[in-house]
Structure 1
Amino acid sequence: MFNKVLYIKYHTTALKLGITAFKTIPFKSEKSFINGQWVSAQSGKNLDVFNPATGTLVGTVPDMNTADTQIAIDSASKAFETWKNTTAKERSQILRRWYSLMLENQNTIAEIMTAESGKSLQESNGEVIYGNSFVEWFSELARQVRGEVIPSSDRSKKILIHHQPIGVVGLITPWNFPHAMITRKASAALSVGCTVVVKPGEDTPLTAVEIMKCAEKAGFPPGVINLLTSSRENTAEIGRLLCKSPLVAGISFTGSTTVGKILYSQCAPGIKRIGLELGGNASFIVYKSANLDKAVEGALTSKFRNCGQTCVASNRFLIQADIFDAFVDKLVAKVKNLKIGNGFDEGTQIGPLINEAQLHKVSNFVEDAVSKGAKVLVGGKPASHIGKLFYEPTVLSNITSNMLVYSEEVFGPVISLIHFNTEEESLHIANSNDVGLASYFYSEDISQVFRVSHNLEVGMVGVNVGLISAAEAPFGGIKQSGLGREGSHLGIEDYTYIKYTCLGNL
C-alpha cells in the first residue's frame, strides 16, 4: 500500500456557509468499497490523485479493472435479492442517515473536493449542500412511490399498476461534480430498491471515497452500494463490462456526448435501461428589455462556476444590438475583477482547469477564434503566473459561425459574444445545434418570456436567473444532450419498471 501522507496546510476565514477555520488535514492512500469491505485492486495497482492548482499529490486510490468490476457486479446482484424486498420506510431511513452523516461531514468532504478538483472552497461547500439535497429528497420520495388501480371494462377483473426496481445499476460519473453527480444518481436508484456500482471520475475519486465512508456508517447492507476507482486507461473496459453484463439492468452516465453514444451502443444488445446526461452548448440571451445589472450577474454565475467546467455553463452569449455595448461594458468590468487562484485561498472565484488536456482545449478554442477574426476584450491566455493549469477569464467578441467557440462546448472560462437584432434571429442561433441541455435568457417583457421559453429547443430554461439546478427540478436535455431526467419525482423513472397485474374471476 502507498504509505506517503501529504499534509495540506491552509487557513481561511469564514465564507458564506458557516465555515470557520480549517485545520491541517492528512490525505492518505484510500481503498475502494465493494460488498461492504474496503479493498485494494486485484492487480495491486494504485492511482495517484493530484491537486490541479498546485500539482501536489493529495492521495491515492486503487486502480481497478474489469476483474474488480465483476466482483462489484456480483456483489450488487446478490444484494439486490434482499434489498429489493426492503420496505420503502427502511430504505428511507437509511438514506436519511446517509444524508445526516454527509451533512455532519460537509467541511471534510468540501476540503477533499477542493484539494482534488481545484474549485474554490466556497463552491465545494455549495456542491456538498446541493448533492446532499438529493439524498434528502429521495429519502422522502421513497415512501411516495405509488401504484394505481385502473377501472376495468370487465366487472370481474381488477387492473393493478405498480413500480418495481429494475435491478443492478451502473453509475458512471464525471470529475467536475464529484459529490453531486454520485448522490443525484445513487439516492434515486437506492430509494426504489436498486443496488448500485459507482464508477467516479478519474481525476476526483477521493470525494467519492469520503461519500462511501458515510454510506457505510449509514447502514447500507453489503453489496447495495459499491465503488470502483480506476485510472483513465481502465475506464473504457469497466464501462463496457457494466454495459454488457447481463447482471446489470441499467446504466446512468453523465459526461460527453461522444462517450454517451459509445455507452448507448454497448447497451443496445441487452436492450438495457439507460439514462444519459450529456454535453450542451448553452446560449445566454439578453434582450433589450432586460435588467442589465441582473443579466451581468447571471452571466458570471452561469459561465464561471467551476471555471466554466459545467455541462450547463453558457457558451454563446447573444446580446440584442440595442444594448450590446452597454452590456459588454458592464460585463468586462466585472470579469476583470474576478480573482483567480488556489481554491483554498480566501476570495478565490476562479480555480484551475482540471488537467492539461482541458487547458489545451480551451487554449485551442480561443486561438482558433482569434485567428478567424475574434477580438479579445479581456483575458485570452493561460494564467501561467498563477499555476500550470490556470486560464484567464476571457471575453471574446466578433464571433462568427465558423469558429469552434460558436458550435462546440468550450468547457472553460470563455465568454463568446454574438449580437442579434430580432427575437427570431436569437432563437435561430440558439437552436442551431444538435444538443439541447440548457439555455438562459433575460427579459422583462412577460409575453416574450413565455414565447422564448416555449421556443428554445432545450430541456431546461433559466429565465432571469443563471443557476437553475435543484433537487426538486427535473434535470436533463433533449437532442444529443441525453435521455431521461435526474432529480424531481421523475428521477425514479430510470430505475423502475411498471408492472401490470390483472386479477380475474372476481
Structure 2
Amino acid sequence: MNPLFNKIKTLEGLSTGQSFFKGNGREFQISSPVDGKSLGSVTACTKIEYDAIVNKALEAKLTWQNTTAPARGEIVRQYGQKLREHKNDLGELVSYEMGKSLQEGLGEVQEMIDICDFATGLSRQLYGLQMHSERPKHRMLEQWHPLGIVGIISAFNFPVAVWAWNTAIAWVCGNVCIWKPSEKTPFTAIACQYLFSEVLAENNLPEGISNLIMGDKEVGQMLAEDKRINLVSATGSVRMGKSVATTVAGRLGKSLLELGGNNAIIVTENADLQQAIPAIVFGAVGTCGQRCTSTRRLIIHKNIFEELKEQLVKAYSQLKIGNPLDTTNHVGPLIDKSAVDAYFNTIEEAQKQGGKVLCGNRQLKGENYTTDCYIEPTIIEASADMPILKTETFAPILYLIPYKTLDEAIRIQNNVPQGLSSAIFSLNLRETEQFLSVNGSDCGIANVNIGTSGAEIGGAFGGEKETGGGRESGSDAWKAYMRRQTCTINYGKELPLAQGIKFEI
C-alpha cells in the first residue's frame, strides 16, 4: 500500500492526543471491495472516550473562535497544500478502500483541494449587512458568529470530499469539528485527520480543532443527542437522516441534511444524443451507481426512445469492469455484499412490476474479479407507474421511461419522494426554460445539457423533499455554520422607540 497508508497504520490509540482511532468499543474489520484484502481494524469509541473528545473540542473552541477569520483561512490553505502533496496517495486509498475508479478517487481529493481554496477566500468575505433604521441617529447591522462545535456524519460513497465541504467552511467560520466517518471507510478519514494534525502542530494550534470518532449509528446518535454539538451535518440514507433530524430537533438543535437522491434526466426529441449519451452513462455507472447524484431514471421522448435505447445498450456493452486502480476500467465494485444483494433484489422486484431487463443483471466471476462485489450495470425498460421507481437503490440500475409531452416528463421526474439532482438534454430554448421554471424541476440541482452528477464546489449543493433541504459547499452555504446577530446602535442623546411608541417617565 502507499506511503500515506503505511504512516497511518503505525498510529495507535490517540493520534497526537486529539482523536481516538482505536477506542474500546465494537471492533470493525475493514477489507477492500477491490480484492477482499484486509486494511486492518478500527474500534468504536465509548461514551467516556466520546466525552473526552468533546471536552478537547470545547477547549480548542475558545482559541479558534478568537483567531481572526483570515488567519483561520490561512490554516485551511495550508491543509489544501498538504492535500496537493499527498493527492495521489490519498486518491489511491479512496479508490482501494471504497471501490470507485482511481480517476474518481483523485477527483474526490481534488474536490477537497478546491473547497480549501474556496474557504480560504471566503475567510475574508463573511459579510453582514447594514440596514437603515426608522429611528434618528440609530444604525442597524447584522453580524455572524461561529456556532461552536459542528458534528459531521459522512457516508462511504464520498469518504473524504463531503467531509471537506463541511469542515473547510466550518473551520473558516470559526467552528471546531467532530467527524464520524462511515464505519465502512475509516482509513481514508484517518489519513485526512493525520494530515490536518500535521498542520495544527506546525502552527502550534490546539489539537481539538479537528476531531475524529469511530463507530456506527450508536456513535452517530451520541452526536445527535449531545446539546454541546451546535450543528449536526449528516450525509446518508433518508432513514438515517430522519433519525438524526428527529433527535436533534428534540433538543432544538440545528441539523444540515444531505440524504437520498433518485435523479432523472429528461431527453427530448430536440436533444443532441452524441452529447447526452456519455453524460447518461457516466451518471448511471460512475462510482458503480453509488453516488447520491447518480442517474436512476431516464425519461425519453417516445419519438427517440428506441434509437436511444439501442445506443445505450451498445454503450453499456463497451464498459470495462474490474479493478478500479486500473485506469483502463470504467466501473469498479459495489461497496460490499449487502449492496450486491440490494442490486439483485431491486432488479427482481422491477421485473415483477413489469420491467424488462435490457442488459446487465449479472454478477461477475473469475480471476479478474477477486471479490463478490463486481456486477454488471443494468438497464431496465420501465413504465412510469412502477412503484420501484420511487425507491433509490445504491447500485448501477438505470430505468428507461417513455413520455409524450414535456409536461408529462416533468411530472414523472418530480413524482418521487427525493429531490436532489435533475437534468434535461434539449437544444430547444423553450423546453430548457420550462424545465428551469417554477413549474419545472422540483430538485435542488437542475442542469441543462449536462448530467445529474459532477457538481462543482462553487455552487450550493443539496436537495429538497426527502433529500433533506440542506445546502453545503459553495455560494452562501457558509451561513448554516454561523449564527446571525442583529445589532442596533444608538449614537444620539434621545431614546426614540420603534413604531412611534411613546413611553415617558
Query: Cα 1:160–1:412, aligned 2, differ >3 Å: closer, same or farther?
Result: same
SS of residue in 1 equivalent to 2:303: helix
Among 199, 211, 220, the alignment partner of 1:218 is 199
Cα deviation, residue 415, structure 1: 1.1
CA distance in 2, matches of 1:31, 1:149: 51
CA distance in 1, matches of 2:246, 2:314: 47
The equivalent of 2:502 in structure 1 is none
The equivalent of 2:450 in structure 1 is 465
Cα deviation, residue 33, structure 1: 6.1
The AA in structure 2 aligned to 1:495 is Y
How many residues matched? Answer: 482
Structure 1 residue runs of 5 or longer lacking an equivalent are 1-6, 9-21
Query: Cα 1:44–1:254, aligned 2, differ >3 Å: closer, same or farther?
Result: closer
Cα deviation, residue 464, structure 1: 0.5
CA distance in 2, matches of 1:208, 1:74: 21
The AA in structure 2 aligned to 1:52 is P
The AA in structure 2 aligned to 1:221 is P
The equivalent of 1:410 in structure 2 is 393
The equivalent of 1:157 in structure 2 is 138
Cα deviation, residue 271, structure 1: 1.1
CA distance in 1, matches of 2:4, 2:237: 37
Cα RMSD (Å): 2.0
The equivalent of 1:395 in structure 2 is 379
Cα deviation, residue 39, structure 1: 4.1
Structure 2 residue runs of 5 or longer lacking an equivalent are 493-505
- Mapped contact 1:168–1:196 kept (Cα < 8 A): yes
The equivalent of 2:104 in structure 1 is 123
The AA in structure 1 aligned to 2:399 is S
- Mapped contact 2:4–2:89 kept (Cα < 8 A): no
Among 410, 415, 427, the alignment partner of 1:427 is 410
The AA in structure 2 aligned to 1:447 is R
TM-score, normalised by the number of residues in structure 2? 0.91
- Mapped contact 2:20–2:45 kept (Cα < 8 A): no
CA distance in 1, matches of 2:365, 2:358: 19
The AA in structure 2 aligned to 1:494 is A
- Mapped contact 2:4–2:86 kept (Cα < 8 A): no
CA distance in 1, matches of 2:350, 2:246: 34
Alpha-carbon displacement from aligned partner over 1:286-338 (angstroms, at most 9, x marks no partner):
00000011111110121111000000111111110011111111111111111
Query: Cα 1:453–1:236, aligned 2, differ >3 Å: closer, same or farther?
Result: same
The equivalent of 1:16 in structure 2 is none
Query: Cα 1:263–1:33, aligned 2, differ >3 Å: closer, same or farther?
Result: farther
CA distance in 2, matches of 1:249, 1:56: 39
Query: Cα 1:250–1:33, aligned 2, differ >3 Å: closer, same or farther?
Result: farther
Among 224, 229, 233, the alignment partner of 1:248 is 229
Q: Within 5 Å, give how 1:159-198 maps onto structure 2.
A: 159-198=140-179
The equivalent of 1:452 in structure 2 is 435
SS of residue in 2 equivalent to 1:252: strand
CA distance in 1, matches of 2:463, 2:277: 25
Of the structure 1 ranges 36-45 and 99-108, higher mean CA displacement relative to structure 2 is found in 36-45
Q: Within 5 Å, give how 1:471-486 maps onto structure 2.
A: 471-486=457-472
Q: Which has the larger radius of gyration?
A: 2
The equivalent of 1:271 in structure 2 is 252
SS of residue in 1 equivalent to 2:261: coil
Query: Cα 1:32–1:165, aligned 2, differ >3 Å: closer, same or farther?
Result: farther
Q: Does 1:314 align with 2:295?
A: yes
Query: Cα 1:501–1:441, aligned 2, differ >3 Å: closer, same or farther?
Result: same
TM-score, normalised by the number of residues in structure 1? 0.91
- Mapped contact 1:34–1:227 kept (Cα < 8 A): no
CA distance in 1, matches of 2:5, 2:68: 43
- Mapped contact 1:341–1:352 kept (Cα < 8 A): yes
Among 475, 492, 497, the alignment partner of 2:483 is 497
SS of residue in 2 equivalent to 1:240: helix
The equivalent of 2:419 in structure 1 is 436
Q: Within 5 Å, give how 1:353-392 maps onto structure 2.
A: 353-385=334-366, 386=369, 387-392=371-376
SS of residue in 1 equivalent to 2:460: coil
CA distance in 2, matches of 1:384, 1:399: 32
- Percent identical: 29
- Mapped contact 1:52–1:353 kept (Cα < 8 A): yes
- Mapped contact 2:91–2:105 kept (Cα < 8 A): yes
